[in-house]
Structure 1
């Protein structure tokens, strides 16, 4: 299986809310092409109600079988990376869970509803890397419509009494 990786740094924000049930919200905001030397959860900027953190590094993976999805992302007009944060009991309350260039993978993760998933702009260096990966490994696969099996009309038909039933014992 063809696989390439690139380590990326992730920037997230913790925004204060004026809400009786929730006092803050986490939001992924950007990706850095490379791994900065800062420690995970280093505060980068702080203002009243907003704190920006360097959340840490993540290994962005590309797979040869997913080139069609990456191509769709690149041709979307707004190439993005999707970042997933997952709630944890340990401080700061969330953990970096996923960074992906596959829009369909990120969409499938929203169905669970427990992760914070946000699309952020893909840096130009990563766009170029992704485009080169797609160019090198993409294989166009023709669409093949499957034929359904014909239904057996007798499958649900009423049958006569079976031998060995309670009615036979009488």
Structure 2
């Protein structure tokens, strides 16, 4: 499903950041666009920055289920500051998976914004999740009967000769 991303530009609060860019909304079924101004109020300007496809995968149905069970189901918008791009930011990805959003947040390079999902999009993701999610039964792993505590290989420092205190640090040998 094509998903338009609305980005708001507001004045920065420090002298090091002149502008603050935030993804504030998504537009399901939006047409292709490239940084079209939607609204301007005083110093705040909202842009329809880009339209990207929201692709759902059956393997990620567990993640979508976790997202839908959240208090406010959300779309995760990944923004990048690309130096050679003429636009202020590039919209890299939109996803409904909180796990994928967390992966992008961990790298420290991307801006990950959590945008509330509109009602129609919640229904679309819910229907997909119900059709593709399979609950896996928990199977407890059984331990094998091998005794691993009988031999202490690789324990301690090989330079210590007596077996009684293998954790002692080696000292200088006085002659």
Does TM, scored on the shorter chain, surpass 0.5?
yes
Gaps of 5+ in 1: 1-5, 160-170
Between the two proteins, the alignment pairs up a number of residues equal to 154
Question: 1:53 is matched with which residue?
Answer: 47
SS of 2:56's partner is: strand
CA offset at residue 88 of structure 1?
Answer: 1.4
SS of 2:55's partner is: strand
Higher relative contact order (CA 8 A, sep 6+): 1
CA offset at residue 135 of structure 1?
Answer: 1.0
Gaps of 5+ in 2: 160-175
CA offset at residue 59 of structure 1?
Answer: 0.7
Is 1:14 aligned to 2:9, yes or no? yes
Taking only aligned residues, the RMSD between alpha carbons, in angstroms, comes to: 2.3
Give runs of ≥4 in structure 1 deviating > 4 Å. 144-152
**Aligned counterparts, 1:44-123, within 5 A:** 44-89=38-83, 90-123=85-118
Q: 131-140 or 12-21: which moved more?
A: 12-21
CA offset at residue 92 of structure 1?
Answer: 2.3
Task: State TM-score, norm by structure 1.
Answer: 0.81
2-structure distance, mates of 1:60, 1:132: 15
Task: State TM-score, norm by structure 2.
Answer: 0.79
1-structure distance, mates of 2:126, 2:110: 28
CA offset at residue 144 of structure 1?
Answer: 4.2
Is 1:133 aligned to 2:128, yes or no? yes
Question: 2:20 is matched with which residue?
Answer: 25
